[in-house]
Amino acid sequence: MTNSKKVNKKDVGKLLSQWSQEFAIFVPSIGSGVATMARWEGKDTSFLDWYRNTVIPPKANFLPPMEEMFSFRKDREGYNIELPPNGGKQLIFGIRPCDARALTTIDANFKDLYQDPYYLPKRSRAVLVGVGCTNPYDSCFCTSLGISPADSNDVDLMLTDIGDEFLVEEVTDKGKKLTAKTSGLKEATKDDETRAKEIKEISYNKVTRKINAEGIVDKLLAGFDDQDYWEKVAAKCISCGICTLLCPTCYCFDINDELVRQQGTRFRSLDSCAFPVYTKMPMENPRASKWKRVRQKVCHKFGFFPMNFNVIACTGCGRCIRLCPVNWDITQILNSLPVRV
C-alpha cells in the first residue's frame, strides 16, 4: 500500500471531464497557432504526446496580458464604479515544475505590502495539476535553481509518466480533496513508486544546461558598475519584450485608462523593462541606454529580487533562450561574470 494513486493515460480524458463540472479546465494546446494553455474543448488529450512546454507561460492564467481592473461612468451624481465579475475556478492541467515554482515565486510580490485583489483570488481558487517533464529542452536549466523536472512542491497534484500510466501524488489538501471525489484513479503499487523515482532521476539528468547559482547575488552586484562589461553583454540585445513577456517570473505591469466620452475602463497590461520607454518620466529616463536595461533585467532576477524575497526570480524554464531573436543567453552571462568578489 502506498500513499499514491495512478491513472491510465487513456483515462486522463475521463478525469478532466469529471473535473470540468467544477473547474474551467486548461490544457496545453496549439490550436491557436502557438503552444499555450487553452480551455479544454472536452475530448482531445493528444497533447500528452507532443507537449514539452508551452511558449506562453501559465502565468497568463493568473496575470493576463490585459486585465480589467474596474469600469467607471460619470453621471450627474458623480462617478459610478463597477468591479469586474469574479472569475471562476481554474484547473491547469500539465503545468511544469518550473512554471509552478514561478507562480509561487511571484506570489511574494503580490502579497508584499499590498494584497493584489486580482491575482491572489485567482491563485487561491485554482488547482494546479503538474505533469513532470520527461523530455526537457536543451535550453532548460531548472536543476541549477533548486528545482527538478519532476518537482512537486508547487502543485496540488503531481503526475509522473511511468509508461502507460501516470503516478498521481497528492501534494496539498486541495489535491487530496479533489482526488477524494474523483473516480477512475487506482491505487499505486510500490513498484509504481520505484519506477516513478527512476523516471524522475533520468529526467533530472537530462537537463544539461547549468549555471552556478552559488553566491550569485554577491557576484553579480559586485560587477554592477562595470559599464564596459555590461555594454559588451548588451550589444546584441534588440530591446524587444520577448524574454520578459514570456518569462514565468516576470510580473511588471502598466496601468492605463481607456475613455469613451463619459465612461471608461482602467486596465492593467504586461509591461517590459526591456522597452526603452519603460522608465521614461517627464524629467528623465534613467535607463535610456540599452546596457542599463539589460543590466537591470539580470540584476533584478538574480540580485534584487532574491535580496528582497530570498528567492531567485528565475526557474530555469529557458523560454528566454529558446525564443530570443538574437540568441542572447542568460546562462552564458551568469557563467562568465567577471570575478570580483
Partner 1 sequence: MEQKLRSEVKALLEQGKVDWIIGFEPGSLKFTTTPLITKDKNDAERLVINPFIVNNLANFLTEIMGRVGIVAKGCDSRSIVSLIQDNKVAREDVVILGVPCTGVIDLSKVEKLVGKDRDELNDIAREGDKVTIKVEGKKKGFPSTQVLFNHCLACELPTPKEYDILLGEPSPPIANLAAQERIEKLRQVAPGQRWAFWEKELSRCIRCYACRNVCPACFCQRCFVEETEPQWVLPAPRWQDNLIFQIVRNIHVAGRCTDCGECERACPVNIPLRSLTREMYDIVGELFQFKAGMDKDALPLMTHYEEKEAEDFFR
Residues 122-161 that bind partner 1 (CB under 8 A): 137-139
Cα gap 207→205, rounded to integer Å:
5
Considering only residues 21-80, where is the footprint of partner 1 by CB under 8 A?
Answer: 32-34, 36, 52, 55-56, 65-66
Question: Measured between alpha carbons, how far is 303 from 88 in angstroms, rounded to an integer?
Answer: 36
Q: How far apart are CB 118 and partner 1 at their closest, in Å? A: 15
Of 197 and 266, which CB lies nearer to partner 1 in the complex structure? 266
Q: Which burial class, exposed, middle or buried, applies to 75 when counting CB atoms under 10 A from its CB (0-12, 13-18, 19+)?
A: exposed
Site string for partner 1, 274-303 (x = CB under 8 A): -x-x------------x-------------
> Contact between 254 and partner 1 (CB under 8 A)?
yes
Give least dist CB 284 to partner 1, A: 15
**Of positions 81, 202, 307, 326, contacts partner 1 by CB under 8 A:** 326
- Cα-based distances in Å from 13 to 25, 27, 46, 233, 327: 11, 11, 10, 47, 38
Task: Please choose, out of 70-78, 109-117, 146-154, 253-261, the segment that lies near partner 1 by the rule CB under 8 A.
Answer: 253-261
Residue with cell 505590502: 113
Residue 147 burial by Cβ neighbours in a 10 Å radius (0-12, 13-18, 19+): buried
Please say which residue, 63 or 158, places its beta carbon nearer to partner 1: 63
Q: Which regions of 147-190 does DSSP assign to beta strands (E)?
A: 157-161, 165-170, 186-187
CB of 236 to partner 1, least distance (A): 4
Which one, 19 or 141, has the nearer CB to partner 1?
A: 141
Q: Which of 152/296 has CB closer to partner 1? A: 296
Phi/psi for 182 (5° steps) reads -110, 130
Residue 307: is it exposed, middle or buried by C-beta count within 10 angstroms (0-12/13-18/19+)?
Answer: exposed
Q: State which H helix or E strand residue 70 sits in.
A: strand 66-74
Instruction: Count interface residues toward partner 1 (CB under 8 A).
Output: 42
- Exactly one of 239, 263, 279, 285 binds partner 1 (CB under 8 A); which one? 239
In the bound state with partner 1, the residue whose beta carbon lies nearer, of 36 and 315, is 36
Q: Which is nearer to partner 1, 90 or 331 (CB)?
A: 331
Sheet with 186-187: list strands edge to edge. Answer: 36-39, 24-29, 90-95, 127-131, 157-161, 165-170, 5-8, 186-187
What's the grid cell of residue 292?
542599463
Residues that bind partner 1 (CB under 8 A): 32-34, 36, 52, 55-56, 65-66, 137-139, 235-236, 238-242, 245-246, 254, 256, 258, 267, 269-272, 275, 277, 290, 321-323, 325-329, 331-332
